[in-house]
Amino acid sequence: MTSRKKLQGLVAATITPMTPDGQINLPVIRQYVDYLVNEQTVKNVFVNGTTGEGLSLSIQERKQLAEEWVCQGKDKLDHVIIHVGALSLPESQELARHAAAIGAGGIAVIAPFFFKPTNKVRVEELLEGIKERIPTFQGVKFSDTDLLDLAQCIHKNEAQQLEFLYGVDEQLLGALAVGANGAVGSTYNYLGRQTNLMLEAFAKPDLVLARKYQFLTGEFLNFVIKLGFGVAQTKAVMTFVSGIPMGPPRLPLLGASEEFIAKAKAKLDSIVWPDGN
């Protein structure tokens, strides 16, 4: 994991394609990589996370998926980050060793969520001296709407060169304003191109244009959130946008309804983006 490119910009939280009978559909990954790079201009992926139903998969399945993404992403993707979080620490360690062995670009772990801290802890406090405790620590996927905490994290960790990728897709612009380096999210699977245009506008800075993009992605997300929007629905949206069959989710998730799909598609089709697409 040496001489790495800096991790910034958009990272797609990848979906795990499944066959109609609920098995992971590895052969589709190759097409998925090409689609992200060529159609969505997204060159970083986050594999086996929440969007990828990582915790609903067996350890063996997670390894297979990690291998396929690393293999297919070679020379095409900039960073393949494998989420290795698990409720069982030995299993998480096993996944981390595996990620290193197959040459993944990095690993990520979710915070404990079954046995969890009883007091609310700010991320900013967690990061104090983190590099001394975890020398390979690179950054945080920050997925809270508390931008005070995010701003403090960024400010206090400039010297440590940590990267802060924002995880609440629908309000990324607010996070960019306080200094986020990029974003990890499921939206970037199918709205990556438009979001990259927002990042460009913001970098100029052309805030009026950036705001326009954020409004329009918000318009779509706001609409589907009201209908009930989760991983199952994201799989359905990605299927109709990309044409790649993402398949059904695994239980306990239930597939998106036909009604949801029809409405979501109509909504997305109705949006006119500033670049005319």
- Binding residues for a second copy, rule: CB under 8 A, are 53, 55-58, 61, 87-91, 112-116, 118, 122, 124, 145-149, 151-152, 155, 170-171, 173-179, 205, 207, 210-211, 214-215, 218-219, 221-222, 225, 228, 230-231, 250-253
CB of 147 to a second copy, least distance (A): 4
**Nearer to a second copy (CB atom), residue 4 or residue 155:** 155
CB of 4 to a second copy, least distance (A): 26
Question: How far is the CA of 175 from the CAs of 33, 51, 79, 149, 180, in angstroms?
Answer: 27, 21, 22, 11, 5
Task: Tell me the CA end-to-end span of the chain in Å, nearest whole number.
Answer: 38
Q: In this structure, what DSSP letter does residue 230 have? A: S
CB of 91 to a second copy, least distance (A): 6
CB of 249 to a second copy, least distance (A): 8
SS3 (DSSP) at 233: helix
**Nearer to a second copy (CB atom), residue 190 or residue 220:** 220
CB of 87 to a second copy, least distance (A): 4
**Nearer to a second copy (CB atom), residue 72 or residue 157:** 157
**Nearer to a second copy (CB atom), residue 100 or residue 168:** 168
CB of 6 to a second copy, least distance (A): 19
**Nearer to a second copy (CB atom), residue 230 or residue 245:** 230
Cis, bond preceding 90 (omega within 30 deg of 0) = no
- Laid out side by side, the sheet with 139-142 consists of 106-108, 79-83, 44-47, 9-13, 182-185, 163-166, 139-142
CA gap 202, 212 in Å, rounded: 11
CB 48 within 8 A of CB 16: yes
- Give the torsion sign (CA, 51, 199, 154, 215): negative
**Nearer to a second copy (CB atom), residue 101 or residue 148:** 148
